[in-house]
């Protein structure tokens, strides 16, 4: 090989090594590391008394996850668990995976930098299997409260909550697992 070809090949190899190691960030999909040791806060929806439950981090099917237990036999409307995050404005979607033994209404709440909370509702429909759920941040929330109450996300997102709403399938106590959260930019 001549020296010009050797130099070109060396430069190409260095570029491949550099960009190969940054492929995750270049693809626009970034893991949201929220299931490995972070402190989650459980909330039983005190404004609708009666719900009980708990939240814990645990390995589920060889993956880190959040287990949210719920019990609406004494009343209530929802339970949730949340933690502080820092999700930038360039984020377009939040994806995560859910597993439960029955169909559920999954609630996602995002608290923004103006202390406004935006609530979204997604449906889990694959009992016994992991289902990927997508939250498109460009879509309007089901509801917003607190802060300016304008329904607009004021970035960064500072808190993320996952929850379960009371419904036909939640007559008996149960649990739901959340895992593999990621941000799409």
Give Cβ neighbours of residue 83 (< 8 Å, ≥ 6 apart). Answer: 34, 38, 39, 40, 41, 159, 160
Q: What is the pLDDT of residue 37?
A: 86
- The domains of the chain are located at 1-27, 32-184
**Cα gap 133→123, rounded to integer Å:** 8
How does pLDDT run across 87-118, given as a tens digit for each residue? 999 999 999 999 999 999 999 999 999 999 99
The pTM score is 0.84
Q: State the CATH architecture for 32-184.
A: Sandwich (2.60)
How does pLDDT run across 10-52, given as a tens digit for each residue? 443 333 333 333 333 446 899 999 999 889 999 999 999 999 9
């Amino acid at each position: 090989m001549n020296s010009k070809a050797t130099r070109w090949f060396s430069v190409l190899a260095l570029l491949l090594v550099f960009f190969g190691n940054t492929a995750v960030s270049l693809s626009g999909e970034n893991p949201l590391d929220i299931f490995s040791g972070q402190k989650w806060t459980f909330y039983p929806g005190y404004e609708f008394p009666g719900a009980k439950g708990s939240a814990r981090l645990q390995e589920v099917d060889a993956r880190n996850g959040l287990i949210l237990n719920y019990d609406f036999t004494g009343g209530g409307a929802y339970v949730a668990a949340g933690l502080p995050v820092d999700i930038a404005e360039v984020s377009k979607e939040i994806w995560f995976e859910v597993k439960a033994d029955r169909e559920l209404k999954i609630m996602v709440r995002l608290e923004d930098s103006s202390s406004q909370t935006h609530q979204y509702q997604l449906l889990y429909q694959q009992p016994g299997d992991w289902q990927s759920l997508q939250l498109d941040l460009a879509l309007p929330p089901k509801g917003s409260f607190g802060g300016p109450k304008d329904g607009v996300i004021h970035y960064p997102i500072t808190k993320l909550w996952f929850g379960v709403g009371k419904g036909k399938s939640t007559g008996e106590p149960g649990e739901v697992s959340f895992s593999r959260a990621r941000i799409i930019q």
